[in-house]
Amino acid sequence: MSEHLNQTDPVTPVPGSPTGQYNQGLTPLHPPQKSLIRIGMIIRALILLALALAADIVLQIQLGVQPGMVLIPAALLAVVLVLVLPGRKYRRWGYDMGEEQLRVLRGFLWRTDTIVPFNRIQHIDVAQGPLQRLFGLSTLIVHTAGTHNSIVTLPGLATIDAENMRETIKDHIRQDMI
């Protein structure tokens, strides 16, 4: 495994960052991923606000409802989405490259902890969207033969880490396990 992967010691969390407690001491995602999650949340919040504004106006005109009955709760929700949720989501993410398996931990309300043995992986993708490129992030996607979990994605890796992980896993892939 590359040095780059091990530079963040997974057991002792970085001072000031509560990450270690929430993801069971696994390797956290690359920090810019938090900003990326936040951007996603801002987009969702804007859509929510636009819809709430429309609903507010319609209700006000049609039924004479007090203005702000929809908009104010929506605005509060939007604030939570943008300020609170990204941090929580980010620190619940974690991964661990073991000797023979990849472990991925994710989710804030719906938590999932997946283990994929390397020799069960059929093929691997390293994907990068335009926003991810801006932050130097990549998504590692591993495909298994399982009907459930046929695709396991691990977003928010530094591109160099993702490529190193791909090389590590590649060496373990065996032919025709099914």
Partner 1 sequence: MNELSTSPVQDNSAPFQRLHPLSIILKSLGTLSQNIFAILILHFSLFDQNIVYSMLAALALITLVFGVTTLIWSRFTYQVTTREIRIKSGLLNRNNRSIPFDRIQDVSLEQKLVSRLLGLATVALETGSGGGEDGQLDALSRTDAEQLRDTIRDYKDGLNADRAEADDRPVTADVPPLFAMDNRRIFIAGLFNFSFVLLAILGALAQNLDFLLPDGFFDPRSWIDAFPEQDTIDGFSSWARIGGALAAILSLVVIGFGSGIVRTFVREYGFRLDRVDSGQSGFRRRRGLFTLTDMVMPIHRVQAAIVQTGPVRARFGWYHLKFTSLAGDSGGETDHSAAPCATLAEIDPILDDCAIDQAPADLIFHRVDPAFWWRGAIIASLLLSGIALVTGTFINGGFFAIILLAVPVSLISYLNWRHHQFALTDQQLFVRSGWWRRRLTILPRRKIQTIDVSQSPLDHPLDLATVTIGIAGGSAIAPLNIAAVPWQSAMDLRTRLFSWQNRT
Residues at the contact surface with partner 1, assessed by CB under 8 A: 100-101, 107, 109-117, 120, 144-150, 152, 176, 178
Residues 6+ away with beta carbon under 8 Å from 145: 120, 122, 177, 178
Of the pair 71, 169, the CB lying nearest partner 1 is at 169
Q: 101 or 159, CB closer to partner 1?
A: 101
Task: Kindly state the smallest distance separating residue 24's Cβ from partner 1, in Å.
Answer: 9
| 95-132: b (≥16 Cβ within 10 Å) or e | bbbeeebbbbbbeeeeeeebebebebbeebeeeeeeeb
Nearer of residues 62 and 175 to partner 1, judged by Cβ: 175
Give CA separation, 147 vs 32, 112, 114, 152, in Å. Answer: 32, 17, 14, 12
Could you tell me the smallest distance in angstroms from the CB atom of residue 17 to partner 1? 23
Task: Pull the structure tokens for residue 117.
Answer: 């043995």
- CB 20 to partner 1: min, Å: 18
CB of 119 to partner 1, least distance (A): 8
Max Cα-Cα span within the chain: 68
For the bound state, the minimum distance from the C-beta of residue 149 to partner 1, rounded and expressed in Å, comes to 4
Q: Select 36 or 102, whichever has its Cβ closest to partner 1.
A: 102
- Measured from the CB atom, the residue of 78 and 104 that comes closer to partner 1 is 104
Reference 94, options 109, 113, 119, 81; nearest CA is: 113
